[in-house]
Amino acid sequence: MSAAEGPLVVGVDSSTQSTKALVVDAATGRTVAEGRAAHTVTSGAARESDPRQWWEALCEALARCGDAAREAAAVSVAGQQHGLVTLDVRGEPVRPALLWNDVRSAPQARRLAAELGGPAAWAERTGSVPGASFTVSKWAWLAEQEPGAVLATRAVRLPHDYLTERLTGQGTTDRGDASGTGWWASAAETYDDTVLARVGLDPALLPRVVRPGEVAGTVRGGHGLPFSPGTLVAAGTGDNAAAALGLGLRPGVPVLSLGTSGTVYAVSRRRPADPTGTVAGFADASGDWLPLACTLNCTLAVDRVAALLGLDREAVEPGAEITFLPYLDGERTPDLPLATGLLHGLRHDTTGGQLLQAAYDGAVHALLGALDRVLDADADPAAPLLLIGGGARGTAWQRTVRRLSGRPVRVPAARELVALGAAAQAAGLLTGEDPAAVARRWNTAAGPVLEPVERDEETLARISGVLSDATPLLERGPDGR
């Protein structure tokens, strides 16, 4: 391993199913070492994880980085958004964390959205209309279903907050992740007392919101990690805000992320407030905004279809007028939390490869349908769509996105952009730079541009038509209610 040109920093991505740690040269952006460890998620309607697994996975991932992690001067943790972590008086989890894709709080979300002035008032107040993914809805569900757990709770945290607090001993969060809770007022950039009172949450249980560029704390002793006590710890942020940092994203540049969930987003100078709830008006980690639309069903759903068919995920075939809405986990965009997958147009001569292509089409259609709402009116419609996430290098995903968007697509060569964004945030503590500027200096968004192809309007219209006709059925859920 060659010597680093600058100080070393660590960026962590604690995602739904695994934790990744990168040791990065702050001067060049070169990854010096990396490690990964998995954690488990329950299946079915209850999507939960024990937060202690995240800590164990972080320890394991850092151990796999070897001696390089010991030299780090700063560290930052990015994590999956929205998850509800409840801690007792000893700082231990009261129960497993409710994750972003746990849709059991859909009834509470809809009730909350109808209250306090309705969806438009919520969007103006918090930037978003509450859905089943949002932390506020999960807290309302917990208060109704498990009041004993609420009584035992002495601190409420998000996933990245939990890990940062174990590093520093301080309860902190950042504006990017706080904006996904539903109890953070985006205009005032503070916790909203009216929302907190409505759901019975004491603001004293919430972490302090650290400003962009502010040090969240330092690594305390006795943690069992390779960091020296006193190592700087950045605020951290949610996974999408971290990926935006990792790309060095400038305002108006669209991103489509293909992971367990799918997201479309762009940095904006304007505070978003979409009364339809399609776009979540998140803050970013640098002082701007990150309007974002998210689907629950993306690569995981398509891979599940491929597995059911006994096909490789790339074994798609064109040519069928078949529509598949792959809402295997319910759906967030469109707002159909109780939905299941729906197949329309199946015939004797339909092949497995055509059905698999229909799953890709259905997943991408949901994301592209929200893209125009995400982008500002002055965004360049011909700008390449940045394609990131686990599916971004899949040929079938690339072809589907190009065919249904009609846009050029850039696939950044850099991988692990969430962890790189966290690393850029850590580096910013040392250099005083904006983390996005650090990432631009590292040239993380560089990659080949795939030329546009003619937009497949026929397929888009067919999927939209089936979705419109089927929405009343999908809203009732599998039990017909």
DSSP secondary structure letter of residue 186? T
Round to whole Å and give the CA distance between 13 and 419. 5
Determine the Cα–Cα distance for residues 128 and 116; give it in Å rounded to an integer. Answer: 13
- Active-site positions? 239
DSSP annotation of 133 reads T
Structure token pair of residue 215: 């040090």
Cβ–Cβ under 8 Å, residues 125 and 63:
no
First to last CA, the chain: 60
Half-sphere exposure in the Cβ direction for 426 (13 Å, CA): 34
> Alpha carbon of 479 to those of 101, 139, 272, 473: distances in Å?
20, 25, 36, 10
CA 170, distance to chain mean position in Å, is 24
Q: Which residues of 204-236 are buried (b: 16+ CB within 10 A; e: fewer)?
A: ebbbebbebbeebbbbbeeeebbbeeebbbbbb
Give the number of other Cβ atoms within 10 Å of residue 290's Cβ: 30
User: Count of alpha carbons within 13 Å of 263, Cβ hemisphere only?
Assistant: 23
Residue 283, classed as helix, strand or coil, is strand
Crossing angle of helices 352-374 and 299-309, rounded to 10°: 170
Q: Tell me, what amino acid is at 372? A: D
